Amino acid sequence: MGLPSKHRKKFISHKKRWDKKTIVDEAVLVSDYALKNKNEIRKIEALISKYKSIAKSFNKSAQTKESDEAKKFINKLKLNGFLSTEAQSLDDVLDINVRNILDRRLSNILYRNKLARTPKQARQFIVHCHVGIEGQCITSPSYLVSLAEEPLVAFISNSSLVDEQHPERVNAAGGMVEVEEMEQIPLKNKRNTFDDKETKLDEEEVVEEDE
């Protein structure tokens, strides 16, 4: 049977499976944060659902709403960066969305700190063991970075990217590098190309006959 922990479902199925707006919005998220697939969004939605359920359980009565456990829960979300520092009530937990969580991913922190040119490149650096927190290598782009850990995100000591003069570091510091525009040769459609070849062959035949 194997370990039960290995077979546990870690994400929730989407209720609007074939909704066009949902598909388009999720495609934008996958592109903006360089996600591997949409299952990563499902996991974030499951985490948000868990936080909202806890908030609702605290919000049932005035005693639990003002309890120490409720305050610790809000402070924990603040320290993780999921809530703003101005948040004070459990109602703010219900406003957490997918982007609030995705913004705390290690790949996004790396890109936001201008250590990578694109979110996709940031993901590549992490998977290739170039990035760590306080010297400890982390190979998971989905690692959620807390506010305390954010200043400690850097390239590990044995990585070639530690050198600030590394080409990728220089380009990343300058922002997104635009791809040089290639000279575009005007292309003809297949029919015109075929006609040109046929005309050329006919001309060669006429020249041979004249000779």
Asked if pLDDT for residue 182 goes beyond 90, the answer is no
Reported confidence tier of residue 193, pLDDT bands at 50, 70, 90: very low
| Closest to 154 measured CA to CA, from 168, 136, 178 | 136
Token couple for 151: 């200043």
What is the rounded distance in angstroms from the CA atom of residue 34 to the CA atom of residue 124?
10
Residue 185 has pLDDT above 50, yes or no: no
Neighbour-count burial of 132, counting CB atoms closer than 10 A to its CB (0-12 exposed, 13-18 middle, 19+ buried): buried
pTM for the predicted model, two decimal places: 0.73
pLDDT of 17 above 60: yes
Confidence of residue 45 (pLDDT cuts 50, 70, 90): very high
Please report, to the nearest 10 degrees, the dihedral formed by the alpha carbons of residues 182, 178, 139, 43 taken in order.
Answer: -100
At 155, which helix (H) or strand (E)?
A: strand 153-155
Mean pLDDT of 149-164: 92
Q: In the structure encoding, which two tokens stand for residue 178, read together?
A: 């635009």
How confident is the model at residue 59, as a pLDDT?
87
Amino acid at residue number 78: K
pLDDT at 183: 37
Q: What is the pLDDT of residue 126?
A: 96
98 CB neighbour count, 10 Å cutoff: 17
